[in-house]
Amino acid sequence: MSLPFLLSVLIAGALFGFGLSYATMIQPEVVLSFLRFEDFGLLWVLGSASLLTMLTYQLIPRLLKKPLVAPSFKAHAATLDRNTLVGAAIFGIGWGISGVCPGPALAGLGAGNWPMLLALAGIFAGAYVQGRLMK
Amino acid sequence: MPAIDVLFPLGISQYLIGGLFIGFAVSFLFATTGLIGGVSTFFTSTWSFVSKWSYFNRENFVSSRNWRIVYAAGLIIGAAIWMLTAGEAFQTTVSWWQLLLGGFIAGFGARLSNGCTSGHGICGIASLQVPSLLAVLIFLGAAMISANIVQLLGGV
């Protein structure tokens, strides 16, 4: 992988981490207050991020023949099967227990939220067990 | 407006602006590298460095494991930049068992589902993928139920 490619990924990740922090999504308390119907702000985060991305996912391939530092655009390919739906339900249960999902678990560390190490350990362990159950 | 205060007691600007940053991040990633910016695959592909188990060494994990680590590092760096400029350090008071157990279950589920709030949520909604839209509805519903049960059981 070229340096411009890795730098682009790093900048994108940093913008993502900055946005998650700005949106207070690295505070599990805020996420839990959404899931308990006390503050619906999370919908603005999901909504504004998704809508902006919806626009650019449509526009960018029309404006650029290929990505600036890579040969081709990847397609988002989710499959409609049992694992996708059952996995989503299991993910939701865990998300509701902790108020933490994978992005904020990482970003939280950068903002000094050390207890997120526990969530990260849990996510890594959960991903490991899931992988070991697959062939 | 009182109705707005009830729905959004902390205001909406931080949510809106933070969300736009996130959307810009995922858009920037796509424009420069063509990649789809989900986060949870990182937690599977990184195992390929230390495990010989065939699943972790699938082509899609091994070929993406390097950039996914850089992406994860970027998330941490971006939050650190936020802390040093716009914000301040924050530590959660959510109980250790909630973080560990919830993390484990969420990690298992996100990988089984092949996506989380970023992959199915932001990227999936943005590309109007039916499986992702269904996954989002399911995980939002499940999370609302479990978050309320945990509260009844005395969790933070």
Complete DSSP assignment for A75-125: PP----SHHHHHHHHHHHHHHHHHS--HHHHHHHHHTT-TTHHHHHHHHHH
Residues 6 or more apart whose CB falls under 8 angstroms from that of B34 comprise A66, A67, A70, A71, A72, A73, A74
Please name the residue of chain A whose CA is at the shortest distance from the CA of residue B19: A45
Domain regions of chain B by residue span:
91-156
How far apart CA B113 and CA B111 sit, in angstroms, is 5
**pLDDT computed for residue B4 by the predictor:** 80
Residue where the block lists tokens 């899609």: B60
How far apart CA B152 and CA B142 sit, in angstroms, is 16
Say what percent of chain A tops pLDDT 90: 94
Q: Please state the pTM of the whole predicted model.
A: 0.96
Please name the residue of chain A whose CA is at the shortest distance from the CA of residue B111: A127
Q: Which residues of B touch A2 (CB under 8 A)?
A: none
Q: Which residues, given as ranges, of chain B have pLDDT below 50?
A: none
Q: Is the pLDDT of residue A1 over 80?
A: no
Interface TM-score (ipTM) > 0.85: yes
- List Cα–Cα distances, B97 to A112, A113, A118, B155, in angstroms: 19, 16, 9, 9
**pLDDT computed for residue B105 by the predictor:** 98
**pLDDT computed for residue A94 by the predictor:** 98
Neighbours of B107 (CB within 10 A): 32
Question: How far does B124 lie from chain A, in Å, by closest CA?
Answer: 7
Neighbours of A79 (CB within 10 A): 9
- A122 near B102, Cβ under 8 Å? yes
* Residue A107 token pair: 């970003």
**pLDDT computed for residue B155 by the predictor:** 79
Q: At what angle do helices B96-113 and B130-152 cross, to 10 degrees?
A: 160
**pLDDT computed for residue B1 by the predictor:** 57
Domain regions of chain A by residue span:
3-132
Question: Cβ separation of A16 and B21 shorter than 8 Å?
Answer: yes
Question: Cβ separation of A96 and B150 shorter than 8 Å?
Answer: yes
**pLDDT computed for residue B3 by the predictor:** 77
Work out the average pLDDT over A72-98.
94
Work out the average pLDDT over A30-57.
97
Task: Give pLDDT tens digits for A112-125.
Answer: 999 999 999 999 99
**pLDDT computed for residue A8 by the predictor:** 98
The sign one gets for the Cα dihedral A86, B143, B37, A122 is negative
How far apart CA B20 and CA A44 sit, in angstroms, is 9
Q: What angle do CA A121, B20, B36 make, to 5 degrees?
A: 55
- List Cα–Cα distances, B74 to A7, A67, B124, B146, B153, in angstroms: 9, 20, 21, 31, 36
Q: Is B49 on the interface with A (CB under 8 A)?
A: no
Among A23, A53, A125, beta carbon nearest to B27? A53
Grouping H, G, I as helix, E, B as strand and the rest as coil, residue B85 is: helix
Task: Give pLDDT tens digits for A63-81.
Answer: 999 999 999 999 877 889 9
Mean model confidence pLDDT for chain A = 96
How far apart CA B30 and CA B147 sit, in angstroms, is 33
How far apart CA B135 and CA B114 sit, in angstroms, is 10
Grouping H, G, I as helix, E, B as strand and the rest as coil, residue B146 is: helix
Closest CA to A17 of B43, B124, B73: B73
Question: Cβ separation of B103 and A119 shorter than 8 Å?
Answer: yes
Question: How far does B42 lie from chain A, in Å, by closest CA?
Answer: 9
